[in-house]
Amino acid sequence: MDKLSSYYKKSITRQFMSFMLLALVLILCGAGFVLWSTVNIIQDYEDKSKINREKQELVSDIANHANQIILRTRGYYVYQTEFEYNQIFSEKAVLDEAMAAFKQLSLNDTEQELITSIEDFFTQFFNEVLPQGIAFANANDYASLRSFISAEADNPVNDLLDYSQRFEKTVQKIASDENAKLVTGLTYQGGIFIGYILLVLILSIFITRKIATDIGHPLGQLTKQASRFAEGEMFQVDYVKREDEIGGLSRAFNEMMTQIQSKEEELLSQNEELQAQQDELQAQQEELHSAMEQMERNEQYLEKRNLLVQSLSNTLDKQELLGSIIRHIVKIVGYDKGLIVMMNAQHDYASVGVSDKGAAQFIRTIDDGLIMRAAQTKEPYQIKRACVESEQGYHEQQMYASELVIPILNAEDEMVACMMLTKLGQPIAKHEQIEIVGMARQVSLAFDKLALYEVSERQRQMTSDMLNTIQEGVQLLDLEGRTLQINKKMSEFFGFLEPLGETMDLPLDEFLSQLSSNVVEPEMLRSFIVEWVSDGGLNEINWMNYEITEPDRRYIQIYCEPLYREGVKFGTLLVHRDITKEYEVDRMKSEFVSTVSHELRTPLASVLGFAELLLHRELKPERQRKYVSTIHQEARRLTTLINDFLDLQRMESGKQTYDMKPISLTTLINEVIELQRIGTTVHEIVWESDGTSMILMADQDKMQQVFTNLLSNAIKYSPEGGRITISSRIEAGQHVISIQDEGLGIPDNALPKLFNKFYRVDNSDRREIGGTGLGLAIVKEIITRHRGTIEVDSKLGEGSTFTIRFPVQESQQPRMEADGDVQEQLPESSIDVMLIENDYNLSIMLRDELQASGFRVHLYTQGQKALEEIEELAPDIVVIDLMLEPDTSGWQVIEQMKKSESLQNTPIIISSAFDEKDKAAQWGIREFLVKPYLPGRLTATIHQILRKG
């Protein structure tokens, strides 16, 4: 029992469920009972009323049928018909039936008696009365009949009818009695039902009260306590000792309260902490805010700087750059005017809002004032000034302009440019100035970049110029063989490269395929290049020759060199060298060798052949003499040939030395004529001179060779004899000597080749004449070396004229002409001659003479001045007069020169009226010209000194 009690105590739900279940069972039982009693009463009533109704109906039926039988009997009596008769018996059957049914019912005594009387009556009736009556009727004895019927007046049928009527009334009375009983029963039933409802109500009240006490109240209490707790009150919670849910709830609530309390304390401490943190954050935020402002300012500044930098990096053209700088800076800082000027020689500048005149004014005073100060202090500075009219606009009130002068310094802290900015109406803030100075640094970097670019551009240009000046086609290939760069010569050789410019990116295949346009047998070249590109550097043979046809036929040698950068191959350099000349020289050389060999073999063949005949044949003396003389003649020819050949070789190689001395050509020609005359009888040699002496610096022997060759040719090639005229004259500043014959003449086609080595006019009659074919080549060589020219004029069959021209020297005095080599080595124009001469007329004459010879002459007419300036002048040669001013002599100058380290070896020529050669020799001076002398001697002496070196 305790167990069950504690089971219920632990759960309100269980308690409540059990209560409800019990109440429900009670209510259901009550309801079932009420329903059952009511149904019972009604059932009972219905049963009784049914029996009464059936009894009544049966009684009524019996009465009716009994009556019918009587009536039918009497009808038969009257009518005596069959039908009536039958009807009597059918009614009797139904009556029997009804009476049998009635007997089945529970009958009270009265009814029992009644039914028995009726049965008795009808038994008697059918057994006695009816047959009697039928007998009367059949006998028509109606009178007996009537008496018979009247005797029947107190028969039970009438009783029956009476009874039926009475029974009906009885039944009705019973029915109403039953009804009344039903109503009473139902009323009683209603009272029970009300009682039942009341019971249910009481139960409900009880349950509700129980719930309210057990759940509602404690919950209400708890709610109150919760709100009290929420209000912050602390107390002991009720019901904690209860074991059911309320107890649980209370305990949980209690625990919650405890926890919340402890949590609250914790939170409070945390809150304090947070508060402290928040304070700190607040401070930090303020700090951040100020930093952000600073950053924003910086960002704006950077943006401006960025704009400037962009503008700076857009161009490398100086003027464009300057324009861009000043435009952008003025725009960025929002000023009104600006100017930037470079400190270079041209003072390149650019400006915004400044007139050309203003800019020019600024630049004019570049070494003064504003810019001067900027250059010296290297610091920017500000100026405030009143606005000029053009800056005032429509303002009547005086406005002020602020100006900032900023020096732009390079890495060496030198001012490379200066910038001036103007702001109208407002002062220039400190931070603006700082910004602008920052920009100036940027600008300075841009200038550095520009300078660097200019240097590299110059370098590039120089490299390009160099490459283009090289007379060899240069072609740079990368590792894949793509042509990257070529020079001018290369595009000359390969016209298809020209439109591509100097730098390109031409694939190897394309280059190779184009080669066929002007290379003879391009396959060889192709495979050579391909091999080099593919395994370049491994190839032992790095060159080959090929031939091109465009722009003209040329022989080209190509050679390859691999290119390395820091030990890694990065490409191949192809050099195409025009070897046409070498090729021609080579060809000519081998032709020459072949010709020489031919020329030597012919006389050799004669010498050997005749010698052999002499040795092996018995010959007549005249033939022997003829052969020996032929051998002699051919041997001499051979000798001449070899000599001529060697001479020419020497001359051509420049090894021939010329002993240049002043010689008289007139004398020389006369001697040659005399000699040649001896050898001929058929020629008349005439010497026509205009009488001028022909004295020039020449090699006597060589000149003799020239005229001997020419004159002997004239004789040889006019085998029929005739007149040979040698004439000399002066024409246009030149000695002209011509040798004219009336011989065979030279065909036109041979004229251009006449002076070539081994060239001999192809004509059989000339073969008879013999010769080496070298004579005229030697003549031309010698004359050229003497700065002369030779030309020929000829008509076939009528004779030839050879004309030689030598330049006439300015003075008739034999001029000490140096030979060509020295002239070339020391161009006079690079020789500074210091001429110290106090005789005015002589000094002018000598100066003119020296200048005409091409020297740079520095004339001094005063010794004192010469003494002062000689050190600085540092002349190459000094020509000095000994007699100068009264207190200065040439010796003083010489003395000074000999003491000076830089001048002591400078050649000195003394030009004096007094012969003091001994004294001069003491100073080591050999060149002493005694006045009067012709100016040409001075020049000649200088040349002599120069030649000695």
Partner 1 sequence: MKSILLAEDEPVLRMLVVDSLEDEGYDIDEACDGEEAIDKIKTKDYDLIILDYMMPKMTGIEVIEQARLLPDKSAAKILMLSAKNQQAEQDKVMAAGADGFMSKPFSPLDLIDKVEEMLRG
Among 616, 620, 655, 899, binds partner 1 (CB under 8 A): 616
Rounded distance between C-alpha atoms, residue 486 and residue 741, angstroms: 58
Name residues contacting partner 1, limited to 848-877 (CB under 8 A): none
Return the number of the residue (501 or 797) whose C-beta is nearest partner 1: 797
Return the number of the residue (312 or 750) whose C-beta is nearest partner 1: 750
- Which of these ranges, 460-468, 595-603, 667-675, 858-866, lies near partner 1 under the rule CB under 8 A? 595-603
Least separation in angstroms between CB 628 and partner 1: 13
Is 601 one of the binding residues for partner 1 (CB under 8 A)? yes
Least separation in angstroms between CB 617 and partner 1: 7
Least separation in angstroms between CB 797 and partner 1: 17
Among 247, 380, 473, 603, binds partner 1 (CB under 8 A): 603
The helix/strand/coil state of 731 is strand
- Count interface residues toward partner 1 (CB under 8 A): 26
Least separation in angstroms between CB 753 and partner 1: 14
Rounded distance between C-alpha atoms, residue 757 and residue 647, angstroms: 12
Return the number of the residue (585 or 605) whose C-beta is nearest partner 1: 605
Least separation in angstroms between CB 619 and partner 1: 9
Rounded distance between C-alpha atoms, residue 581 and residue 589, angstroms: 12
Is 431 one of the binding residues for partner 1 (CB under 8 A)? no
Rounded distance between C-alpha atoms, residue 161 and residue 738, angstroms: 215
Rounded distance between C-alpha atoms, residue 610 and residue 631, angstroms: 7
Specify whether the CB–CB gap between 236 and 208 falls below 8 A: no
Q: What is the dihedral of CA 855, 861, 863, 867, to 10 degrees?
A: -50
Specify whether the CB–CB gap between 767 and 759 falls below 8 A: no
How far is C-alpha 700 from the chain's CA centre? 78
Q: Which residues of 600-618 are buried (b: 16+ CB within 10 A; e: fewer)?
A: beebeebbeebeeeeeeee
Return the number of the residue (565 or 620) whose C-beta is nearest partner 1: 620
Is 180 one of the binding residues for partner 1 (CB under 8 A)? no
Q: Which residues of 732-743 are buried (b: 16+ CB within 10 A; e: fewer)?
A: eeebbbbbbbbb
Least separation in angstroms between CB 521 and partner 1: 23
Least separation in angstroms between CB 744 and partner 1: 14
Name residues contacting partner 1, limited to 763-802 (CB under 8 A): 763-764, 767-768
Rounded distance between C-alpha atoms, residue 60 and residue 160, angstroms: 10
- Which of these ranges, 582-590, 610-618, 803-811, 910-918, lies near partner 1 under the rule CB under 8 A? 610-618
| Number of neighbours of residue 28 by Cβ within 10 angstroms | 10
Name residues contacting partner 1, limited to 518-557 (CB under 8 A): none
Specify whether the CB–CB gap between 443 and 408 falls below 8 A: yes
Rounded distance between C-alpha atoms, residue 6 and residue 869, angstroms: 145
Return the number of the residue (606 or 939) whose C-beta is nearest partner 1: 606
Among 91, 403, 634, 927, binds partner 1 (CB under 8 A): 634
Is 639 one of the binding residues for partner 1 (CB under 8 A)? no
Name beta bridge partners: 928.
Answer: 910
Name beta bridge partners: 883.
Answer: 889
Residue 785 has φ and ψ, to the nearest 5°, of -65, -25
Return the number of the residue (300 or 639) whose C-beta is nearest partner 1: 639
Q: Which helix (H) or strand (E) holds 179?
A: helix 156-211
The helix/strand/coil state of 783 is helix
Among 209, 228, 598, 625, binds partner 1 (CB under 8 A): 598
Least separation in angstroms between CB 601 and partner 1: 4
Rounded distance between C-alpha atoms, residue 96 and residue 65, angstroms: 9
Sequence-distant (6+) residues with CB within 8 A of 739 are: 707, 710, 711, 714, 724, 725, 726, 801, 802
Q: What angle do CA 463, 469, 474 make, to 5 degrees?
A: 75
Among 35, 135, 151, 608, binds partner 1 (CB under 8 A): 608
Least separation in angstroms between CB 616 and partner 1: 6
How far is C-alpha 730 from the chain's CA centre? 77
Return the number of the residue (493 or 610) whose C-beta is nearest partner 1: 610
Name residues contacting partner 1, limited to 735-764 (CB under 8 A): 762-764
Least separation in angstroms between CB 683 and partner 1: 21
Tokens of 468: 């283009």
Least separation in angstroms between CB 758 and partner 1: 12
User: Which of these, 933, 698, 733, lies nearest to 816 by C-alpha position?
Assistant: 698
Least separation in angstroms between CB 764 and partner 1: 4
Among 227, 275, 594, 667, binds partner 1 (CB under 8 A): 594
Tokens of 392: 């005032």
What percent of the chain is helix, strand and coil (3-state, nearest 5)?
60, 15, 25
Return the number of the residue (615 or 732) whose C-beta is nearest partner 1: 615
Return the number of the residue (607 or 826) whose C-beta is nearest partner 1: 607
Return the number of the residue (286 or 762) whose C-beta is nearest partner 1: 762
Sequence-distant (6+) residues with CB within 8 A of 810 are: 849, 852, 936
Return the number of the residue (370 or 642) whose C-beta is nearest partner 1: 642
Return the number of the residue (384 or 767) whose C-beta is nearest partner 1: 767
Among 617, 625, 632, 661, binds partner 1 (CB under 8 A): 617
Least separation in angstroms between CB 620 and partner 1: 11
Return the number of the residue (167 or 610) whose C-beta is nearest partner 1: 610
Return the number of the residue (101 or 607) whose C-beta is nearest partner 1: 607
Among 75, 522, 609, 722, binds partner 1 (CB under 8 A): 609
Among 597, 667, 902, 905, binds partner 1 (CB under 8 A): 597
Is 636 one of the binding residues for partner 1 (CB under 8 A)? no
Burial class (CB in 10 A: 0-12, 13-18, 19+), 901: exposed
Least separation in angstroms between CB 801 and partner 1: 24
Among 262, 284, 376, 602, binds partner 1 (CB under 8 A): 602
Return the number of the residue (764 or 829) whose C-beta is nearest partner 1: 764
Name beta bridge partners: 459.
Answer: none
Name beta bridge partners: 833.
Answer: 857, 877
Tokens 């954050």 found at: 281
Return the number of the residue (763 or 892) whose C-beta is nearest partner 1: 763
Least separation in angstroms between CB 618 and partner 1: 10
Is 610 one of the binding residues for partner 1 (CB under 8 A)? yes
Is 630 one of the binding residues for partner 1 (CB under 8 A)? yes
User: Which of these, 711, 670, 686, lies nearest to 804 by C-alpha position?
Assistant: 711
User: Which of these, 842, 905, 916, 913, lies nearest to 874 by C-alpha position?
Assistant: 905
Among 605, 686, 730, 844, binds partner 1 (CB under 8 A): 605
Least separation in angstroms between CB 818 and partner 1: 43
Sequence-distant (6+) residues with CB within 8 A of 770 are: 637
The helix/strand/coil state of 699 is strand
Which residues here bind partner 1, judged by CB under 8 A?
Answer: 594, 597-598, 601-610, 612-613, 616-617, 623, 630, 633-634, 762-764, 767-768
